Amino acid sequence: MKVGVLTGGGDCPGLNAVIRAVVRKGEQEYGCGFVGFKDGWRGAVEGRTVPLDIPAVRGILPRGGTILGSSRTNPFKTENGVRDIKENLAKYEVDALIAIGGEDTLGVAARLHAEYGIPCVGVPKTIDNDLSATDYTFGFDTAVGIATEAIDRLHTTAESHMRVLVVEVMGRHAGWIALHSGLAGGANVILIPEQRFDVDQVCAWVTSRFKASYAPIVVVAEGAMPKDGDMVLKDGTKDSFGHVRLSGVGEWLAKEIEARTGKEARTTVLGHIQRGGTPSAFDRWLATRFGLHAIDAVHDRDFGKMVALKGTDIVRVPIADATAKLKTVDPALYKEVGVFFG
Amino acid sequence: MKVGVLTGGGDCPGLNAVIRAVVRKGEQEYGCGFVGFKDGWRGAVEGRTVPLDIPAVRGILPRGGTILGSSRTNPFKTENGVRDIKENLAKYEVDALIAIGGEDTLGVAARLHAEYGIPCVGVPKTIDNDLSATDYTFGFDTAVGIATEAIDRLHTTAESHMRVLVVEVMGRHAGWIALHSGLAGGANVILIPEQRFDVDQVCAWVTSRFKASYAPIVVVAEGAMPKDGDMVLKDGTKDSFGHVRLSGVGEWLAKEIEARTGKEARTTVLGHIQRGGTPSAFDRWLATRFGLHAIDAVHDRDFGKMVALKGTDIVRVPIADATAKLKTVDPALYKEVGVFFG
Amino acid sequence: MKVGVLTGGGDCPGLNAVIRAVVRKGEQEYGCGFVGFKDGWRGAVEGRTVPLDIPAVRGILPRGGTILGSSRTNPFKTENGVRDIKENLAKYEVDALIAIGGEDTLGVAARLHAEYGIPCVGVPKTIDNDLSATDYTFGFDTAVGIATEAIDRLHTTAESHMRVLVVEVMGRHAGWIALHSGLAGGANVILIPEQRFDVDQVCAWVTSRFKASYAPIVVVAEGAMPKDGDMVLKDGTKDSFGHVRLSGVGEWLAKEIEARTGKEARTTVLGHIQRGGTPSAFDRWLATRFGLHAIDAVHDRDFGKMVALKGTDIVRVPIADATAKLKTVDPALYKEVGVFFG
Amino acid sequence: MKVGVLTGGGDCPGLNAVIRAVVRKGEQEYGCGFVGFKDGWRGAVEGRTVPLDIPAVRGILPRGGTILGSSRTNPFKTENGVRDIKENLAKYEVDALIAIGGEDTLGVAARLHAEYGIPCVGVPKTIDNDLSATDYTFGFDTAVGIATEAIDRLHTTAESHMRVLVVEVMGRHAGWIALHSGLAGGANVILIPEQRFDVDQVCAWVTSRFKASYAPIVVVAEGAMPKDGDMVLKDGTKDSFGHVRLSGVGEWLAKEIEARTGKEARTTVLGHIQRGGTPSAFDRWLATRFGLHAIDAVHDRDFGKMVALKGTDIVRVPIADATAKLKTVDPALYKEVGVFFG
């Protein structure tokens, strides 16, 4: 059996761990051969490949990024994209395709399987943790760990000076990274895209925090939005949900807090460091098990499925289940965590 | 309502996070007062307490250890232990008791509730992850992370020299830390207490690894045991399971490998560094949520229960469920991971 | 002998290590008593103190921040500031004063000693490493380590995507953090305040880097400035050197690179995480030795001096030597490092 | 000019950073070609080489180990070793040789230059920091950082339980790692090879520490030795200094402390994790600058020299200066640090 593998979308620690597990088990247990498609769906469309066997995956477990490269190419939006993929799968004699990616990449895999009968297995990937049908995705734990360590460091400044510290973390449509890192880091305010925030409420928490102990730390997801009246839009543009998004919400919020409370505020924008570097042990474990189970699904010819985490088990679900609906933060959970605000 | 809190058994990152969450929510939302019993059940027996309120728990979230201290005292093995506890609960006007601990500590709580009607809520704690009825316990992720980082570091030595590197990690009766850190660290052999190992098989993996790439890394749980014929017992003593345990299995195994393969071998014994220091973000999240739900259970007067993780939810289970049976590594999971051996 | 201690200026990992060493040796070896002045010179002016003895400094070695608090108060710019300090030193029977701080704090100490005969000993502190008369200051190694780790993480994104990654690090007037972290992190361009940069040269490096291997990483000190013609000033304000400073140079540069090269660019602004958290082992060693030698200088009544690092030795130099002139990056050193650009 | 490069002796973080800097500057600025000799002097004797140019050194800066491999082969103890080296240098048309290593490797380079006129330049390397003529060697800061982090973690266990924690760190003949990490980690006892220790004194410190605050942490260098009367030798063997060395001093000491004080004691043996993994920013800076200056020395045909750190400068010294005498801990420095014992 010859298996194609590709990784799509944004960088995410654990991609290499998946690839390694797929190849290691596939070659060793099932006698599979492999073709790596370069830069996600683009490589499948353009027929660009990289050799993939056990020697090629040695030593990649702890490395961030992906040895296959990635892109955001969507074959359904590329002229003759699907036709070219089919031709390339035939040319390289690929019997099955493992697509590792997020909403977009998996959405393509689901359609290729459903509409064109291409034998696909999906592996969910997003540092944002916003895919349905799986408890967690790999990369998320690493991102939360990096953000938490940054927040930890800010506490000493907050203790020694009287400054509000605003940390902007990733999360355009879902606040998981903000919620987990904010709780783990002992932040005093956590703002997520799922709930528009009230700047006056934020300022009230900031003020009460100064009275109770020392300077507050505010964690804000990049996609968090103030209530309409609070905001003078400067460079907001409509996002894919039709919302006007605020660019640089962290910087904007710091200025608002300074203006409304009279306290100095400073911003940290973690940016891409949240999605780079070596994966955490949790993510390596999860990514490796996803890889082992993905090649099992291929071996079982159980196509159109995606591997997913349920408790401590890896299960298979229809790919379409993962992409049907964004997994956002439940209001009840946000309320649970809110006991630490202020 | 006045709530007693105690922590028992071995050190575990996340204990302080539980205490903080219990006190923060209890005082703020439910108007509870608190009494901290010093050094686990010993403090409850001897009536030694520490003050516990919101100011007392400020800043403890990222700190390892426990501000309440700990011990292995078992009131059922202490003269008049239970009687003294009852007197002290009355004396301090304690309406409910939150016991944070492992098998022993929770076992006491279960009996105090079942046999004496003492209103107890349990919070599971063990870095070994060997408690039933919960997907994970806090402290485990931190321990796995520390061991994985150590294994990562050994790879560069393994690549540059031709030495077998043996790492002894915690795990007397369950191999979870060895399994997770060994997989995440890319170890070539993982030995766990659940399955007696064959030294010749280990040596065969070691030898084949040298041929395939570079020097092998062997992760061995402290409770792992060779098959009977393999071992000349020097200072083994019978453990609580009636097994003869090998003291210093890592050092012993390194010597056997040297003798049988002719390759140099070196040992690292991580010891207590696995259970100290700041908890990982995952463990802070889990411990905090356990704390929030434990005080909810107290508020609901739902005694005899323990909080537990099921998927991404915190649920309540009878305390006795957790202590009924050690949660050991499933042979199927060990086999799944075994694809990376050798 | 009664010794006053204060910490001034910005947060810096290692401050607590100095305080602990001063108190531990002073009390134990020389029988000194201590008074901590709260929030730098402000506490000395206002007579606000904190108790300081061996129990008070237990456990603070690994903690960032300062148990004494800090401020930027300058008694020479405060009405009756010097008179109030003299009165408070008399009131608290202080025989000598240890001032731990940067250019401003030490400048005050130098004048108080020279002009008013107040017996001061200085300990140099700045994460920017821009104080003359000492090889290094504590805090700098920690800041460089944090920035380097961030750059390390960005490499995996740079490898997997085709994006320019700009990292803005601390350094208003001196480029030491940018230079050390940029070199240690394998950055492809390093921009420092000491030399105005040419945006076209930066873009040329960026472009050549894309051809040679993968996406480039640009490290820019917050105080770095483009050549005059390159810049359209938006919110620049004159700094203390009379220069117009660019606010948000990282964000600005990313936009320029996008506009001129057509490549996507992303920015990370590390901000205060560089000056928080636990000090590195190097900084703890240096800060502790500074503390031990500072109390020795007090014991020797060798006032008006500052402890300094020369090679592996701690020496004493006139405080004024440290503040006479900013220690900036030598052009020869910048050129040496430049071999890695592009 | 064609330059041979080799790395000898034990693993040390920073070796790859040196190699990268040598090749990058040599090829780019001086037009040099390179030959890498595999596994230290062994490769030079046996004529085994690896290709070495700018693409070969991309991405190796943050990696521990050495891409050239290493060994402890001494050509002067190998039959026809020197003759073979001369032949291989001629065969590969090598004009100069850069030897990166410790006492043994550099000793060979010094003799090859002095006795056979082979044009050698040395780069000092030892995690033990025991080479004379340089303030520090790269790898040492990384090792100290790893040991310090381990000690940090043990504090929480020491605070929560009443156990003596013994940490054995590297250092056969010099106590630098023990001294720096012990001080930085806040250990209560530090034992080094330079001064035989008195077990009763250690026990007295342990006992007084328990009284003053919480459980003590004892850092012991692997080469530390008790006074003669204290020791019952079990498996000691004479080392190269003619001393009987105690194998497993950490474990031995823990048992003695238990026997003499009645307190439980636990041991951690860090072993090879101290010499693996990514180098610290400090070590990358130092190693890179060593590499840049080593190729400068080759370009200047300044042979028989070694690069060395003096303050913040890189200087050249005769190779023989580095190997003449082991750099051990000065008794005055040990005394300075001793203020924290007990």
CA distances B283 to A228, A286, B11, C116, D125, Å, are 37, 16, 14, 55, 39
Question: What's the pLDDT at A233?
Answer: 45
pLDDT digits (tens, 9 = 90+) for C271-291: 889 998 999 999 999 999 999
- Of residues D321 and B189, more confidence is placed in B189
Beta strands per DSSP E along D149-283: 164-169, 189-191, 217-221, 237-238, 244-245, 265-269
For A72, name the nearest residue in chain C, comparing CA atoms only. C161
pLDDT digits (tens, 9 = 90+) for C137-164: 999 999 999 999 999 999 888 877 778 9
- Give mean pLDDT, residues A151-156: 91
pLDDT digits (tens, 9 = 90+) for D101-117: 999 999 999 999 999 99
In this complex, do A157 and C65 lie within 8 Å of one another by their Cβ atoms?
yes
- Give mean pLDDT, residues A196-214: 91
**Closest-CA residue to D69 (of D92, D32, D44):** D44
Of the candidates A24, A186, A339, the beta carbon closest to that of B292 is on A339
- Of residues B247 and C176, more confidence is placed in C176
Question: What's the pLDDT at B184?
Answer: 98
pLDDT digits (tens, 9 = 90+) for B140-195: 999 999 999 999 999 888 877 778 999 999 999 999 999 999 999 999 999 999 99
Q: Would you say residue D239 has pLDDT above 70? A: no
**Closest-CA residue to C9 (of C134, C108, C143, C116):** C108
Summary mean pLDDT of chain C: 92
Q: Are D96 and D75 in contact (CB under 8 A)?
A: no
**Measured in whole angstroms, how far is the alpha carbon of residue C261 from the centre of its chain?**
34
In this complex, do D269 and B268 lie within 8 Å of one another by their Cβ atoms?
yes
In this complex, do A272 and C275 lie within 8 Å of one another by their Cβ atoms?
no
Q: Would you say residue D241 has pLDDT above 50? A: no
Question: What's the pLDDT at D246?
Answer: 52
User: C-alpha dihedral over C342, D6, D11, D14, to 10 degrees?
Assistant: -20
pLDDT digits (tens, 9 = 90+) for D127-168: 999 999 999 999 999 999 999 999 999 988 887 777 899 999
Judging contacts by C-beta atoms under 8 Å, the chain A residues touching residue C272 are 153-154, 157, 163, 165, 266, 268
Residue D150, min C-alpha distance to chain B (Å): 6
Q: Would you say residue D182 has pLDDT above 90? A: yes
- Angle formed at CA D197 by CA D196 and CA D199, multiple of 5 degrees: 145
Q: Would you say residue D82 has pLDDT above 60? A: yes
For A179, name the nearest residue in chain B, comparing CA atoms only. B285
Whether pTM exceeds 0.90: yes
For residue B106, what pLDDT band results from cuts at 50, 70 and 90?
A: very high
For residue B231, what pLDDT band results from cuts at 50, 70 and 90?
A: low
Question: What's the pLDDT at D229?
Answer: 59
Question: What's the pLDDT at D198?
Answer: 95
Interface test with D, best of C315, C336, C337, C341 (most D CBs within 10 A): C336
Of the candidates A63, A64, A161, the beta carbon closest to that of C11 is on A161
| Interface chains of chain C (3 or more CB pairs under 8 Å) | A, D
Of the candidates A63, A160, A271, the beta carbon closest to that of C69 is on A160
- Give mean pLDDT, residues B94-119: 96
Question: What's the pLDDT at C324?
Answer: 83
Question: What's the pLDDT at A232?
Answer: 47
CA–CA distance, A298 with A21 (Å, rounded to integer): 13
Interface test with B, best of A25, A282, A329 (most B CBs within 10 A): A282
Question: What's the pLDDT at D244?
Answer: 45
Q: Would you say residue A227 has pLDDT above 60? A: yes
* Structure token pair of residue D232: 């019952």
- Give mean pLDDT, residues D82-89: 97
Q: Would you say residue A237 has pLDDT above 90? A: no
For B313, name the nearest residue in chain A, comparing CA atoms only. A311
Judging contacts by C-beta atoms under 8 Å, the chain A residues touching residue C249 are none
Q: Would you say residue B229 has pLDDT above 70? A: no
CA–CA distance, A262 with A294 (Å, rounded to integer): 55
For residue C229, what pLDDT band results from cuts at 50, 70 and 90?
A: low
Of the candidates D11, D160, D266, the beta carbon closest to that of B160 is on D11
CA–CA distance, A282 with A238 (Å, rounded to integer): 36
Q: Would you say residue B236 has pLDDT above 90? A: no
In this complex, do C281 and D61 lie within 8 Å of one another by their Cβ atoms?
no
| pLDDT above 70 coverage of chain D, percent | 94
pLDDT digits (tens, 9 = 90+) for A130-149: 999 999 999 999 999 999 99
Question: What's the pLDDT at C9?
Answer: 92
pLDDT digits (tens, 9 = 90+) for D249-291: 998 999 999 999 999 998 899 988 999 899 999 999 999 999 9
Q: Is C100 annotated as a binding residue?
A: no
For residue C129, what pLDDT band results from cuts at 50, 70 and 90?
A: very high
Judging contacts by C-beta atoms under 8 Å, the chain B residues touching residue D161 are 10-11, 70
Q: Would you say residue B239 has pLDDT above 50? A: no
Judging contacts by C-beta atoms under 8 Å, the chain C residues touching residue A267 are 269, 271
Residue A134, min C-alpha distance to chain B (Å): 10
Question: What's the pLDDT at B157?
Answer: 80
Summary mean pLDDT of chain B: 92
Residue B222, min C-alpha distance to chain D (Å): 13
Q: Would you say residue A187 has pLDDT above 50? A: yes
pLDDT digits (tens, 9 = 90+) for A83-139: 999 999 999 999 999 999 999 999 999 999 999 999 999 999 999 999 999 999 999
Residue C171, min C-alpha distance to chain D (Å): 17
pLDDT digits (tens, 9 = 90+) for C174-209: 999 999 999 999 999 999 999 999 999 999 999 999
Question: What's the pLDDT at B235?
Answer: 46
In this complex, do C65 and A160 lie within 8 Å of one another by their Cβ atoms?
yes
CB atoms within 10 A of CB C8: 30
Of the candidates D70, D155, D273, the beta carbon closest to that of B276 is on D155
In this complex, do B62 and A25 lie within 8 Å of one another by their Cβ atoms?
no
Question: What's the pLDDT at B161?
Answer: 74
Summary mean pLDDT of chain D: 92
**Residues of each annotated binding site of D:** 10, 103, 126-128, 163, 170-172, 222, 266, 272-275
Strand-pair category, B33-37 with B49-51:
antiparallel
- Give mean pLDDT, residues C33-51: 97
- Give mean pLDDT, residues B79-83: 95
- Give mean pLDDT, residues D288-302: 98
pLDDT digits (tens, 9 = 90+) for D41-56: 999 999 999 999 999 9
Residue D71, min C-alpha distance to chain C (Å): 27
Identify the three-state secondary structure at position C6: strand
Identify the three-state secondary structure at position A226: strand
Q: Are C121 and C306 in contact (CB under 8 A)?
A: yes
Interface test with A, best of B24, B149, B167, B284 (most A CBs within 10 A): B284
In the annotation, is B128 catalytic?
A: yes
